Amino acid sequence: MALRIAASCVNCSACEPECPNEAIYPTESAFAIDPAKCTECIGFHDDPQCALVCPVEETCVIDESYPRYQPAA
């Protein structure tokens, strides 16, 4: 139920302030997403903000290792 940031991250920080869940944090060489906080922007925006603002395609991607986020009914 989350997005993840791939190794192609250029560390530009554009995603960090856009995240409505404050799930994005800097690491040594790239940014990362806390999957426990990420809601794929469901409930906030039509599309995940990190993926929309990221300058490198296919960098903020769905993390297949997590089940898709299910908003509370």
Partner 1 sequence: MELSEREVAEAAIKAGATNVDDIMQKMAEHKGCETTSDGGKKASCGTAAGENDLPPEIWDKVKNHPCYSEEAHHHYARMHVSVAPACNIQCNYCNRKYDCANESRPGVVSERLTPEQAAKKVLAVASTIPQMTVLGIAGPGDPLANPEKTFKTFELISRTAPDIKLCLSTNGLTLPDHVDTIARYNVDHVTITVNMVDPEVGAKIYPWIFYKHKRYTGIEAARILTERQMQGLEMLTERGILSKINSVMIPGINDQHLKEVNKAVKSRGAFLHNIMPLISSAEHGTVFGLTGQRGPTAQELKKLQDSCEGEMNMMRHCRQCRADAVGLLGEDRSAEFTTEKIMEMDVNYDLATRQAYQARVEEERLAVSGAKASELQVLAGVESDIKILVAVATKGSGRINEHFGHATEFQIYELSTAKGAHFIGHRRVDLYCQGGYGEEDALETVIRAIKDCHAVFVAKIGGCPKKDLSAAGIEAVDEFAHEFIEKSAITYFKRYLEGVAAGTITHVDRGDLVAEIRPGEKAVDVVAAAAVPAE
Positions in the binding site for partner 1 (CB under 8 A):
8, 10-14, 16-18, 45-47, 49, 52-53, 55-56
Tell the residue number behind the tokens 């509370």, with chain if given. Answer: 72
| Cα 5 to Cα 44: distance, rounded to the nearest angstrom | 20
Bin 67: left if φ > 0, else alpha if -120 < ψ < 50, else beta: beta
Closer by beta carbon to partner 1, 18 or else 63: 18
Closer by beta carbon to partner 1, 46 or else 64: 46
Closer by beta carbon to partner 1, 36 or else 56: 56
